[in-house]
A and B are shown apart, each in its own frame.
Chain A
Amino acid sequence: MLKGKQTWIFESKPVILASAAVGGPFEAQGALAEDFDILNDDIWLGQDSFEKAEKKLLEQACDKVIEKSGLSKEDVEFFISGDLLNQIISSTFAARTLGKPFLGIYGACSSSMEGLALAALMVNSKAANYMIAGASSHNAAAEKQYRYPTEYGGQKPPTAQWTVTGAGTALLGQNGEGPRVTSATIGKIVDTGITDPFNMGVAMAPAAVDTILAHFKELSIEPSYYDLIVTGDLGEIGHSITSELLQKDGLNMPADIFNDCGLLIYKKDQQVFAGASGCASSATVTYGHLLNRMRRGELKKLLVIATGALLSPLSYQQKESIPCIAHAVSIEM
Chain B
Amino acid sequence: MAKKKEQTKTQQQYQEYAKTKEPKRPVFKNCVWAFLIGGLICTLGQGIMWFFMTYFNFTEETASSPTVAVLIIIATLLTSIGVYDHIAQYAGAGTVVPITGFANTMTSAAIEHRSEGYVLGVGGNMFKLSGSVIVFGVFSAFIVATIKIILMKLGVI
Contacts and interface: CB of A to CB of B under 8 A. Distances in A.
Interface of A: 48-51, 144, 148-159, 191-195, 199, 202, 205-206, 237, 240-241, 244, 271, 319-321
Given A155-B92, A241-B18, A150 B11 contact: no
A51 B84 CA distance: 23
Interface stretch (B45-53, B64-72, B101-109, B141-149): B101-109
Given A51-B115, A148-B129, A153 B84 contact: yes
A228 B92 CA distance: 40
Nearest to A202: B18
A172 B149 CA distance: 76
23 contacts: A48-B115, A51-B115, A149-B108, A149-B109, A151-B112, A152-B85, A152-B108, A153-B84, A153-B89, A153-B91, A153-B101, A153-B104, A155-B96, A157-B25, A158-B23, A192-B14, A199-B22, A237-B18, A240-B21, A241-B21, A244-B21, A271-B89, A320-B2
Contacts of A205: 18
A145 B104 CA distance: 18
Contacts, number: 102
B15 A153 contact: no
The main secondary structure of chain B at its interface with chain A is helix
B32 interface: no
B120 to A, nearest CB: 13
The main secondary structure of chain A at its interface with chain B is loop
Given A202-B18, A237-B21, A153 B95 contact: yes
A151 B82 contact: yes
Given A151-B104, A152-B85, A155-B88, A191 B109 contact: no
Given A191-B11, A194-B18, 18 more contacts: A50-B115, A144-B112, A149-B108, A149-B112, A149-B113, A151-B79, A151-B84, A151-B107, A151-B108, A152-B129, A153-B87, A153-B89, A157-B25, A158-B22, A193-B12, A241-B18, A241-B21, A320-B2
